[in-house]
Amino acid sequence: MLSKARSQFVRSLHQKKFRQEHGLFLVEGAKSVQEVLASDFRVEQLLATEAFYKENAQLADRQRPQVEIVLPDELTRIGTLETNNAALALARTTENHPLLADPGEMVLILDDIRDPGNLGTILRIADWYGISKVICSETTAEVYNPKVISASKGSFTRVRWFYTDLLTYAQDIPVTIPIYGAFLGGADVHTLAFGGGGGYLIMGNEANGIRPDLEPFVRQKVTIPRYGAAESLNVGIATAVILDNWRRGY
Amino acid sequence: MLSKARSQFVRSLHQKKFRQEHGLFLVEGAKSVQEVLASDFRVEQLLATEAFYKENAQLADRQRPQVEIVLPDELTRIGTLETNNAALALARTTENHPLLADPGEMVLILDDIRDPGNLGTILRIADWYGISKVICSETTAEVYNPKVISASKGSFTRVRWFYTDLLTYAQDIPVTIPIYGAFLGGADVHTLAFGGGGGYLIMGNEANGIRPDLEPFVRQKVTIPRYGAAESLNVGIATAVILDNWRRGY
């Protein structure tokens, strides 16, 4: 049975303040925990049901985390998921290292994506479309928020991120590299010649889009053509559709 | 101030049972309430803040609903949104009328989409891509669930739905009409010639995809090409990407 102290410690990690203080974040549910155990993230503690631990013992022992066998009810009580009958891992956060596009590489820039679910979904989409670097404004949701980790469905283990001041970052992008930005009234993604190279795609805030300060850095505005009457698409949906069009021209 | 009886009545509509019993559903928040007031849905009651009512009086009075001016706190307390400082409408549900594709029309079929947020997002996507008919399996989330209405961002007023047994429905689709279905291992949506006509697109359950019984009715399996390592895409995301590819070949 979980001690009160450990339960409280795990629960404290629901809050950003304590994630930062301890340098640890929560990974919850069978799939996500399997992915983090198999990844380069350092897993320090694993709380698992007996069944999950038996099935994943080899994977679990790879990193030699501190293991405790617990009941599903206990996992659910200390975690953030509605139910969790498998496992919860405490993994070490990584340092905020600068990331730049390699020649020909496609990189995503997120300007003020506030909703953790959207950020997690975008990591999953990036991973699907083979994008492994995501540059985030400092106002973008914290990637270690349990909702981000959970919505990413394990893709947080394959996509790297760099939180930075986007104005400074954008200033340093060589002039020969495309910087696409999602706007209303940009070039139609169905007909735009994306060319075979890489570059950057900037996606903006859920309500306000890309902020005016950043707009001058966008070298090619792009728009998803609309055939009906909805005012907009969710930012995750728009990211996927633009990447799909970029990839087909790549 | 809202009476206890009315508060309880509104709150009862959070549940499917009472929505069915009374034939009413909740529409919440400024944008959604404006859309429903301007739509063909019959709004029977409008609970609005003074500010919202003043700004939208003409629209609000169009249908002559019973109006009550309330405080934002009251709206939030009786509704399902985290906060609501604008309005809440009670609108009449519509009958479940059969819907068929007109010649050349694109229609969406949803097989067992369980998550209300996904269903709402899909309605919004359908609306963006000019699809106005959605056929739902009887196991698909109830469209009048407040989470569906809210996630659809007003698109529930422009997209119609028909809940039915999909096996019977699919049997009656003329053989000359394409029926696309989202599968792993289908034709690549980037290279498939969708042709200029309409047809049906079937999207399957979040975890299990299209059910085996329905699979024989799919005339063309389609797949979104993957460039990275994510195992799958969310069903809303996949719907948008497939519709985007279908539309560009339309």
**pLDDT tens digits, one per residue of A192-248:** 999 878 999 999 999 999 999 999 999 999 999 999 999 999 999 999 999 999 998
Give B156→chain A minimum CA distance, Å: 10
Average pLDDT, chain A: 96
Are A158 and B228 a contacting pair, CB within 8 Å? yes
Strand A199-203 and strand B87-92: the pairing is: unpaired
Residue B113 contacts residue B141 (beta carbons within 8 Å): yes
Nearest to A248 by CA among B120, B191, B152: B191
Chain A positions in Cβ-Cβ contact with residue B125 (cut-off 8 Å):
230, 233, 237
pLDDT tens sequence across A150-204: 999 999 999 999 999 999 999 999 999 999 999 988 999 999 999 878 999 999 9
Any chain A CB within 8 A of the CB of B196? no
What is the rounded distance in angstroms from the CA atom of residue B197 to the CA atom of residue B177? Answer: 9
CATH number of A4-92: 3.30.1330.30
Homologous superfamily of the A106-248 domain (CATH): SPOUT methyltransferase, trefoil knot domain (3.40.1280.10)
Strands B199-203 and B106-110, how do they pair?
Answer: parallel
Secondary structure letter of residue A88 according to DSSP: E
Domain range annotation of chain A: 4-92, 106-248
Q: Is the pLDDT of residue A250 over 70?
A: no
Query: CATH topology of B4-92 equal to that of B106-248?
Result: no
Percentage of chain B modeled with pLDDT above 90: 94
Tell whether the model's pLDDT for residue A249 goes beyond 80. no
Is A126 at the interface with chain B, CB within 8 A?
A: yes
* B147 interfaces chain A, CB cutoff of 8 Å: no
Interface touch B131/A244, C-beta < 8 Å: no
CB pairs under 8 A between A and B: 101
Give tens-digit pLDDT for B217-246: 999 999 999 999 999 999 999 999 999 999
CB of A225 less than 8 A from some CB of B: yes
